[in-house]
Amino acid sequence: MTATTRHLGVLDTAFLDVEDADPHVSLAIGSVLVLDGPPPDHAEFVARVGPRLLSLPGATATVRRGPLGAPELVEDHRSSLDHHVRRVAATAPGDDAALHDLVASIMEQRLDRDHPLWECWVVEGLAGDRWAVVLKVHHCLVDGVGGVDLLTALCTDQLTTSPRGVRPSTPSPLRAARRVVRGAAELIGAAVPVATSSLIGPIGARRRYRVVRASLPEVAAAGRAFGATVNDVVLTAVSAGLRALLLARGEPPYARAVRALVPVSVRDERTGLGGNAISVRLPFLPIHITDPLEALDKVHRAMRHRRGTGESDAGQAFLALARHACPRLLSSGVRLGARLPQRSITTVTTNVPGPRHELSLAGRAVAEILPYVPLALDLRTGIAALTYQNHLTIGITGDRTTTPDLDVLATNIDHELHRLTTLATPPRQPKAIRTGTAPANGDPGRRLRTTTSQRPSDVSTSGS
């Protein structure tokens, strides 16, 4: 991280304030790199990876409150890798369950505010001659997309990287104003409480963590087949998983019971690597719809509507106005709001595109990357999807006390992804006995597809 001292942004500060308001919350985001073994010893790992860790934004700076209450990153020359780089062994037999439990244990612990807000855990003893690295960074320093950029920088010979993002567009002032007004109306409307369910409520300090894996080419093909995006397919699977979770608890899956907070990246050339550059969309998930294609169409239409309303533009405009408020008063307001029960958002679901090329760390190939999203504000579940090479991994976080049945959610997300990818795959037709004989029923897969005038992108960029 660079040695330049900088003030934290409004959203960066809000993540600190939300954590301060609730002793049960640890607002660190995580990435778990699973690598082919054997792992390097501690000295080799520190020698090879330590300098890269210290080069990442915020790695040698601690958070301090300024005279007016605005937090800033202050260079801390006492920073030591001995505090930040740690080593632990997974419980035998080192399978997925052991890794998931260890990740939950690492991520639920708060980062020490007296030190730079990150940790790097080396996990040895995984099955299949593998090991892992858990990179844990406070959300006030980086968002999901920025976190993946940091990972990419860490796993390359280059110690810095250019931030991902699109060149900022410049719409006409009138058009921009209209979008902000429409988006503001949508955001205000999202304050209406959702139907009561066990998915929202006070949370404890302990966490559960599970992972669902899928083939990215297969999920992307399902999106294309039915006129949707990868993000739409993931949200549809999450919707099915939450419906199954409620039904298993004996609760009805009401149509307006699950409003998801879907972070959207607004990172561009001017943003840089550090900090948070996100806005939000707040769609209802169709947990009341059992047909997978009908649910996918519903999700796709909802996300397309949210894009068109300017909801993200309004979120950015609100943050821009907040920059002019008194930092101390703004922080007090955020902390007070975080202590109050909220009944408007049910879960957070983020989807971050990762590297399509293979990464390596300390001379070992990165086999997969697992994402972790923290919980706060009465949200008892959180879902983070991340793509890497041809893999799609979905990390699911649950409150340990109130969500002992997190496996139900994970199993049914996996099941719905399989259903959608299977429906998108045309059945193989038997070879015709005589030349020129065509299948009698055509392609059943094509009859299921919804019509669309555009071919949407396979992966939509969001990020917590």
pTM for the complete prediction? Answer: 0.84
In CATH, the architecture of 6-154 is 2-Layer Sandwich (3.30)
pLDDT at 311: 52
Is 139 among the catalytic positions? Answer: yes
- For 26, phi then psi, to 5°, come to -125, 105
Residue 438 CB: number of other CB atoms within 10 A?
8
One-letter amino acid identity for 185? A
- Please, which residues have CB within 8 angstroms of residue 447's CB and are 6 or more apart in sequence? none
Say yes or no: do domains 6-154 and 174-354+378-426 share a fold.
yes
The H helix count followed by the E strand count for the chain is 13, 15
Q: Which of 84, 138, 139, 300 is catalytic?
A: 139
- Please, which residues have CB within 8 angstroms of residue 65's CB and are 6 or more apart in sequence? 71, 72
pLDDT at 5: 64
pLDDT at 70: 77
Residue 419: its H or E element? helix 406-423
- Tokens, residue 52: 């890269």
Query: Closest Cα to residue 349, out of 413, 276, 424?
Result: 413
DSSP per-residue letters across 21-65? H-TT---EEEEEEEEESPPPPHHHHHHHHHHHHHHSTTTTEEEEE
- Tokens, residue 251: 């609760």
Domain layout of the chain by residue ranges: 6-154, 174-354+378-426
* Spatial distance between the Cα atoms of 111 and 108, rounded to a whole number of angstroms: 9
Residue by residue, pLDDT tens for the chain (464 residues) are 344 567 788 888 888 888 998 999 999 999 999 999 889 999 999 999 998 888 887 788 898 887 666 788 888 777 678 889 999 999 999 999 999 999 999 999 999 999 999 999 999 999 999 999 999 999 988 888 878 888 888 887 544 444 454 444 444 445 544 444 444 455 455 567 889 999 999 999 999 999 999 999 999 999 999 999 999 999 999 999 999 999 999 999 999 999 999 988 776 555 555 676 677 788 899 999 999 999 999 999 998 876 655 555 555 555 555 565 666 666 777 676 777 777 889 999 999 999 999 999 998 999 999 999 999 999 999 999 999 999 999 999 999 999 999 999 999 999 999 999 999 987 665 555 444 434 333 343 333 433 333 333 444 455 65
- Please, which residues have CB within 8 angstroms of residue 274's CB and are 6 or more apart in sequence? 1, 6, 57, 58, 141, 142, 146
Mapped onto helix, strand or coil, the DSSP state of residue 133 is strand
pLDDT at 7: 77
Taking the CA atoms of 462, 104, 57 and 333 in sequence, report the sign of the dihedral they define: positive
pLDDT at 392: 97
Residue 134 CB: number of other CB atoms within 10 A?
22
One-letter amino acid identity for 74? V
pLDDT at 264: 81
Question: What are the Cα distances from residue 302, in Å, to 188, 196, 203, 219, 299?
Answer: 17, 22, 29, 19, 5
- Please, which residues have CB within 8 angstroms of residue 209's CB and are 6 or more apart in sequence? 100, 101, 103, 104, 107, 372, 395, 396, 397, 398
In CATH, the architecture of 174-354+378-426 is 2-Layer Sandwich (3.30)
